[in-house]
Amino acid sequence: MERRVFLKTVAAFGVTTTLPARAPLDRVIGVIGLGARGSAHVEQLLLLEGVDIKALSDVYAPAAEASAAKCVEKGRPRPALYTEGDRAYRALLERDDVDAVLIATPWRWHTPMAVDAMNGGKHALIEVPAAVTLDECWELVETQERTGRHCMMLENVCYGREELMVLNMCRLGIFGELTHGEAAYIHDLRVQMNDLERGTGSWRTPEQTTRNGNLYPTHGLGPIAQYMGINRGDRFDYLVSMSSRALGRALYAKEHFPPDHPRNQVSYVCGDMNSSLIRTEKGRTILLQWDETTPRPYSRLNLIQGTRGIFAGYPDRIAIEGRGPTHEWQDVEPYRREFEHPLWKTVGAEAERAGGHGGMDFVMLWRVVYCLREGLPLDQDVYDAASWSAISPLSEKSVANRSLPVDIPDFTRGRYKNREPLQVARASESRRFLDSLPAMNHASKKERKMPS
C-alpha cells in the first residue's frame, strides 16, 4: 500500500507514459545476452537497415564473439564486446552511443538489467517474462515512470500472422462483445534438461525445482490481453490457479541420466500442467494453461469468444454468426483475405523469408525499430510487461493456498479506464519504413511457430 501511495504521488507530478519517451532515435542498439534467443535477435536485426548494433555483452565470450562475427559478415561494423563477468553489461550501459538495449538473458536477470538500463538513460527491450516476482513488476513500473524510458517486453507472439488478424477483427467488432478467451503455452521442453553447463535448460530447469505455478504465461496470454484491451479499457482483476502432479521431469531424469546425476538428485515440485482462471474487471474470463513437460503437440490455444462469434487456434477455426451455417466451423481463409492485419500485409512476405517463429520475430523487431526511429510509443508498454508477467508469482500464491482467489494489481493505478486502445498500425505508415529495408537474398523457409 505504501508503494501504491508513492506511485500516485509520482503520477501527480505529470508523469506521462502514453506519450513517446523521447525524440526519434538514430539507429543505435546494444544487446545483452547472446545465447540461443539473443543471437537470433542479432541475426534478425542485421536484416534491418534502420538499426546499428554498437555493443554486445555476454558472460560467455565465445557467444558474444560469434554474434560479432555475424555483424562483420553482414558488412556492419564490429560491435564492442563486454564479457568480463556478470556485471560487464553495466559498461555497455555507460556508452553514449547506445540508445536502446535488448535483454535476452536468463529470467532472473531481466528486471535488474532493465532497471539498470533505464537508470542509465537507455530504453529497455526485455525478453519474456519481464519479471519473476511481484516486487520486480512494481520496480519496472516505478523505474519507467521515473526515467521516462521505454520499457517493452518482447512478446513476439503478439506479432504472429493469426494473432494480428484476430486483433484486427476484435478491433472491428466482428466477434461482438468479447466474453471469454483461452491461452496457453503447451510445449514439450524436457529435452532442455540436457543443457547442463550452458543453454536454456541449464538455468530454466532449476526453476521447476523451487516454484509451482504458471512459470511462463505471456506467449499465450499477451495476444488475448490485447484482444480484450487489457490496460486500455479493462484490466485483470483476480485469478485462481491449480497445478497437477509433478511427474514428468523426474521420469525424464530417471530415464536419461545416471542415478547419481545432479538431475536425479533434486525434487521437481512444479506441476506438469498448471491451469489458471483470470477474471477481468469487465467480467470477461480467461483460461490460461502452461505445460512444458508432457508429451503432447504444441499449442497456445489462442481462443477468443464474443457475442457474435469465435476464433480458435491449433488448428485455426472460426465461426461468425450470420456468415455461415449455425453450429459449424467455417473456413478461415476468406476471413484472412478480408481481415489480414495491415502490418502483416506490409512486411509479412519479408518476415516469412527472414524466418523466426514463422516471421513473428522479424515483424516484432521491425515494428520496434520503426517506432523508436519515429519517436512513437511502442505497442507494448511497462504496464503490459508488469501485468502479464505478474501472473507467474500470483499463480504460485494461489496454488500454495488451495487455489484461493488472488487479486491482480492494477499497475496503471486507475489510468486503464481512460487509456486509448492499442492502435492498429497503418499500412501507409509502415510502407514508408519498409522502403528502407535492404533486399533479402536468403531463401524462404517454413518454420513451426513455437516461441521458446
In angstroms, the CA 38 to CA 61 distance is 14
Above 70 in pLDDT, residue 105?
A: yes
In the chain, where are the structural domains located?
Answer: 22-153, 158-344+382-417
Structural contact between residues 126 and 151, judged by C-beta atoms closer than 8 angstroms: yes
- Write the pLDDT tens digit of every residue in 329-363: 999 999 999 999 999 998 999 999 988 889 999 99
Q: Which helix (H) or strand (E) holds 201?
A: helix 200-204
CATH superfamily of 22-153: NAD(P)-binding Rossmann-like Domain (3.40.50.720)
Q: Residue 423: pLDDT band by 50, 70, 90 thresholds?
A: low
Per-residue pLDDT averaged across 263-292, rounded?
98
In angstroms, the CA 134 to CA 200 distance is 23
pLDDT for 18? 34
**DSSP structural state of residue 273:** -
pLDDT for 424? 53
Alpha helices in 231-376 (DSSP H): 248-256, 333-339, 342-354, 360-374
Amino acid code (one letter) for 380: Q
**DSSP structural state of residue 33:** -
pLDDT for 391? 99
Structural contact between residues 388 and 155, judged by C-beta atoms closer than 8 angstroms: yes
- Write the pLDDT tens digit of every residue in 291-316: 999 999 999 999 999 999 999 999 99
> Is the model more confident about 272 or about 438?
272
pLDDT for 22? 54
Per-residue pLDDT averaged across 148-156, rounded?
97
- Write the pLDDT tens digit of every residue in 186-205: 999 999 999 999 999 999 99
Look at strands 178-186 and 303-306 and give their pairing. Answer: antiparallel
> Is the model more confident about 247 or about 29?
247
Hunting for cell 543453454 — which residue is that? 199
Cis amide linkage into residue 438, ω under 30° from 0: no
- Write the pLDDT tens digit of every residue in 26-35: 668 999 999 9
For the ranges 39-43, 193-197, 433-437, which has the lowest average pLDDT? 433-437
With residues binned 3-state (H G I as helix, E B as strand, rest as coil), the percentages for the chain, rounded to 5, are 40, 15, 40
Grid cell at residue 255: 530415464
Of 451, 448, 452, 440, residue with least CA distance to 353: 440
Mean pLDDT of the chain: 90
The phi, psi pair for 203, rounded to 5°, reads: -115, -20
Per-residue pLDDT averaged across 406-420, rounded?
97
pLDDT for 205? 98
Above 90 in pLDDT, residue 224?
A: yes
Grid cell at residue 84: 568480463
pLDDT for 235? 98
Above 50 in pLDDT, residue 439?
A: no
In CATH, the architecture of 158-344+382-417 is: 2-Layer Sandwich (3.30)
pLDDT for 432? 53
Query: Left (φ > 0), alpha (ψ -120 to 50) or beta: where does 223 sit?
Result: alpha
- Write the pLDDT tens digit of every residue in 367-393: 999 889 888 889 999 999 999 999 999
In angstroms, the CA 289 to CA 299 distance is 10
